[in-house]
Every structure is written in structure tokens, then in C-alpha cells.
Structure 1
Amino acid sequence: MEETMPTKRLKRSKEETTNAQPWVEKYRPSTLNELVAHKEIIGVIKRLIAEDRLPHMLLYGPPGTGKTSTITAAAKDMYGKNYGAMTLELNASDDRGIDVVRNQIKEFAATRRLWASSGTKLVILDEADMMTNDAQFALRRVIEKYTANTRFCLVCNYANKIIPALQSRCTKFRFAPLAPDQIRARLGEIVRAENITMDERAIDALLGDLGRGDMRRVLNILQATSVAYPDRISYDSLFLVTGNPLPSDVDAIYVSLLNDSFATARATVADLAKTRGYALPDLLTRLADKVLTTQFPPHFKAHLLEKLADLEYRASFATSDNLQLSALVAAFVGARGLQSD
């Protein structure tokens, strides 16, 4: 029997929604077994869930390392179909004031769900380091009062922005940046699922210089590049889509800064930055990596890295790019004098 037109439209609508979904959400792990890294942390959380001894937790570390995915996957393993009723997810970047603690969190924590498989509910506070101090102090009291039937999980990038009173009430887990080998297998699954053609050199660049241990960044770059270059993702296309300086251009700038006269080096850097549209902070990051990996005397490296750090700081305050490009060339020309002394 042929499908009716409304049924066909419904199926096509679902497919379009899936295709339009960001891959970060589309391929977010739904169980703890699907996570690709931090096996020790995952193992501890699994045992705590199995023994019904889950404590209040503080998950912290750089972005894209699996903090939110871990706690949401743990909640889905704990509650199954009751996940929505037993879990309260808040993003403290949006809901960061004391009223949220007094109203939403307190109201959720004060009620019981006796019909669920577990009587203990879970409050997930993402980006908790954005909460005001007043809200954090209020949260401390709520945690104390409702420990009997509610667990709290704070997720943040910087643990030092969480007040000591909250830190002491939580078991802390640090999520380190992911190693390329930890991401590679998952990336291969996604590449095959999306029918992407990608050479090995491009994969290495995505996992290394561009990804830098951030799974979210890796997937966002991959999705954006697959849209711009649907036939094949090459090494150069990754850099062109993200606006990162091509390694060949960085090498040309680096050689010029170390060998050419001030005027020649200034013209080379300015020409490449203008024609390619490179941002100064990106150039500074790549040049700092080159300095670190080149065999230079320690005092030469120290001088250059200090100058590059100063330039990056000034660039963050929207100073003149032309002036800072000149200062970049001056830093290398001045460093040459140190090397010859």
C-alpha cells in the first residue's frame, strides 16, 4: 500500500530536522558506555550509580571535554524514561541570579517523585562558574537542606570561581583535554555516518592544531567544512573554512621575521594577513608554537614569548592591527640582536 501524502511529508520533515541538527547534539552520547574518554571518571560514576551512592559533584575542565555529556548520560542511565521528570537542567550563563536558586531549584528540590525507580533527583547546573556569589551562597543552603532526596552536579570551566563552601560539599572530577587518539575512533564513526570523504592528513590537522582536545570544536569544524566542501574535505579546506592561518603561510611569515629586514618582513606579514584575512591573535598563537619548537637559546625564546604575550594582550583590547603588526616585526628584529650578542 502506498504511503499517504501526510505520512510522506512527516517522514521528510523528520529527516530534514535530523540533517539540520548540529552534530554536537546529534552525536552526543546518550549513555555512559558511549563516552570515548575519561574511563577512570566514568568507572567511578558507574559504581556510585550502581550502589545508589551518587554524591554531589563538581565537574570542571576546559570546554568540549565531555563534562555535560557525562552527567546527562549518567542521568539517562539512572532514570531512563523518567529522565525529564527527575532531572532539572539549568545553564547558569542565563539563569545566574539568586532568584533562580530560591525559585526554580528550591521548588524542584523540595518535591518528591516516589513513583520513579529512584527517589533521588538530580539538579545539573551547567556553567556554574558564571553564577553570582550571592547565588552560590544561597545554593549552599539549598544543598544542605535537600540532600536527602536531591543530588546537585555543578559543571564549570574554572573551579576556582566556585566558592570554597560549595567545593567542599562536592566530589570533584577534573576533565582534561582529550587526546587525539581518544577522538579519532569517534570521529571515524561520524565521518562514515555522514558519508564524508576526508584524507588522513586532514584528520590529523583536525585532531591536532585545529581541535586541540576539544570534541565540540572538532565536530563544529567538521560540520562547517562538510557544508562548504561536500565532495571532499582536504587539509587546506579545514584552515580556509575556520579562518586559521595555513601552516605554509605561517612558515613563510616565520622565515621572513627571522631573516628579512624590518621593511621586507613588515610587508610580507601585512600582505599575507590582508590577502588571507588572518586575525592577529591567530597568527600570534601559531608563531608562539613555532618559537617553542625551534632550537633557540633560552634567553632568545624567553624574550620572544614575552613580547608575543604582550602583543596578544594588547590585541584583545581592539588596538590598531597595523601598529601591532609592526610591533610583531620589531619583536623579532630586536630578538636577533640578542642572539648575536
Structure 2
Amino acid sequence: MNTTNAFEAPWVEKHRPEFLHEIVGNSEAVSRLQAIAAVGNLPNIILAGPPGIGKTTSVLCLAREMLGDSYKNAVLELNASDARGIDVVRNKIKMFAQKKVTLPPGRHKLIILDEADSMTAAAQQALRRTMEIFSNTTRFALACNNSTKIIEPIQSRCAVLRYTRLSDAEVLSRLQDVAAKESVSYDVSGLEAIVFVAEGDMRNALNSMQSTVSGFGTVSSESVFKICDQPQPLKIRAALESLRKGGLREAQDIIMGLWAAGYAATDIIQTLFKVTRALDMPETQKLDFIREIGFSHMRIAQGLNTQLQL
């Protein structure tokens, strides 16, 4: 595909893994999927975990490995952006489940419902019967952020795979991979800034890196925080160091400087928490800091969005 920089594909899609062994992180869940792919007998599955960590990618890779050339005809993917009320379950999903497709022996058609926790309860009730009736030919994979929002009868029919946020090292290694493929100029502090902002969300990390490269041509910590518009952790760290030495006035000036620069109280308090968590200080002191940050965060979340809380 001949792309100019102006119309480049999103790196999230361009570098999306195609096979299970390419997926970064969540090795336990991925190894279970690899075992399923090897045997070929896929149960109905629910993949639960935060966004941007590879749930949908895992299912697509699994389908590709199990179904081979039949992948195009034997997989139906419905996202939250598609209408997924009760009539879609009754018509579209049922029609696909009844469709005859030539598959390798022992394989099933696959229906992927992304963000299944946003389906209405009535649609989920209709789905459970469909799952039973067509269990001979069709399997369901439901990806969701919160498995508790999926009704109990569907949960009992599925094997649940739990996904967790990726570690900083995993995100960093993948960013270096993509940077090498896209011949991006970067410094290590720039990639570390992206990892800090992404908080284990690979989609966020790749989008942030692409935005930074589009805007500034290179990835440095300064350009990353401009693009992602988060308070500079170095400033927050300086404020915390001042506090530890008893310099309340300096710390207050730094925080008020961030407030004056237009950052929301929630952004400042969240960055404060992230920096404190990673800071090297005695455990008891760290817990005291985190407790106070927690109380302030709670008040801000309840709507007291004033300077006084900071």
C-alpha cells in the first residue's frame, strides 16, 4: 500500500499482531488460547479486562490460526458501534449461526461481540438461547471491560479469560519495535514518558507515539507531554521532594503553577498519585502521602474542583 505521511494508516492497525505468538503480555491467557488453537475445540469464551491490552486482537489471532482460509466467511464481528439490540441478536446473529460454511473438520464458526458489557439485558437474554441452539456449529467470543455487566447465565456458559494491564517493560519493548519499523527518531526519556502516560494501555501508547511523531517529528518527553497534555511528572516530583524536606511553600507554588497553566484538578491529583507510587521513599511515609492524595482525589471526584483541595 503506497501511503504518504499525510494519509498514513494508524499504527495500532498497521502493527496489529496477526498470530498469537506475536501478542505482547498476558502470557497466561495467550497460552490458554494457543492450547485451544492447537486442539481446535473452542469453547464459548469471555475476555475481560481494561481497554487497549489486546483482547480483541487475541480473538482475531485465534480465529485466524484456527480457521485459516475460511476466516473471512466464518467470522462475524460486531462492535459496540453496531446496533446490538434484541432484533440484531434475533436476526443478524441467528442468520449467521444458521449459515452453512465449509470449515476444516472439528472447527466452528465464530461470532465476536466486542464490548459485550454495553449490550442491553434483553439482548443478552436472547443471546443465551441462541448460544445453546447453535452450539454444534457456532462459538461465541465476548470481549468486555467489566465481566460483571454480563448476565449470569451467559457467564456460566463461557470460559472466562482475565486480562490485566501490560507492564511498563512490555509496552516499552513494543514501542521500540514499532519505532524501529517506522524509523522514528526518539530518546529514551520520550518513550518512558509515553509509557508513563499510557498506564499499561498499548493502544494509547501507540496512538500517543504516532501523534507525537506527526506533530513534532521526534519523540522526546517534552513533546509527549505537550501532545498528551498531562502535568509534567518532573514538576510534580520536585513538589514532592520539596514537601519531604519541609518546603511546603515551594511545593504549593509548583502545584498552583500547574493549576494556573490550565490543568484540571483531577489530572494533577492523578499524576501526583502515579509519581508518588513510583517514588523512592520510606514505606510509611509513602503510605501517608498516598492516603492524603486519596482523600483529596475523592473530594475532587465528588465535585469540589477548587484550588483549596489541591
**TM-score, reference length from structure 1:** 0.81
Shift of residue 107, structure 1, vs aligned partner: 0.9
The correspondence of residues 205-244 of structure 1 with structure 2, limited to 5 A, is 205-207=193-195, 209-230=196-217, 232-244=218-230
In 2, the alpha carbon distance for the partners of 1:307 and 1:225 equals 34
The correspondence of residues 189-204 of structure 1 with structure 2, limited to 5 A, is 189-204=177-192
CA contact (8 A) 2:266 2:301 kept: no
**Secondary structure at 1:15's aligned position in 2?**
coil
CA contact (8 A) 2:20 2:30 kept: yes
Amino acid at match of 1:107: M
1:250 matched residue in structure 2: 236
C-alpha change, 1:221 and 1:83, in structure 2 (3 Å) is: same
1:8 matched residue in structure 2: none
**Secondary structure at 1:152's aligned position in 2?**
strand
1:332 matched residue in structure 2: none
Aligned residue among 279, 284, 293 for 2:264: 279
In 2, the alpha carbon distance for the partners of 1:18 and 1:71 equals 31
C-alpha change, 1:268 and 1:179, in structure 2 (3 Å) is: closer
**Over residues 66-93 of structure 1, what are the superposed CA-to-partner deviations in whole Å (9 max), with x where a residue is unaligned?**
1000000111112223222100000135
Shift of residue 135, structure 1, vs aligned partner: 0.9
**Secondary structure at 1:216's aligned position in 2?**
helix
CA contact (8 A) 2:111 2:139 kept: yes
- Would you say 1:327 and 2:309 are equivalent positions? yes
**Over residues 21-60 of structure 1, what are the superposed CA-to-partner deviations in whole Å (9 max), with x where a residue is unaligned?**
1111111111112212223322222222222211000001
CA contact (8 A) 1:269 1:325 kept: no
The correspondence of residues 3-152 of structure 1 with structure 2, limited to 5 A, is 14-16=2-4, 20-113=8-101, 115-118=102-105, 120-152=108-140
Any unmatched runs of 5+ in structure 1? 1-10, 329-341
**Secondary structure at 1:177's aligned position in 2?**
coil
**Secondary structure at 1:134's aligned position in 2?**
helix
Shift of residue 190, structure 1, vs aligned partner: 0.8
- Percent identity of paired positions between Structure 1 and Structure 2: 35
Shift of residue 140, structure 1, vs aligned partner: 0.6
Any unmatched runs of 5+ in structure 2? none
What is the number of residues matched between the two proteins? Answer: 304
CA contact (8 A) 1:266 1:326 kept: no
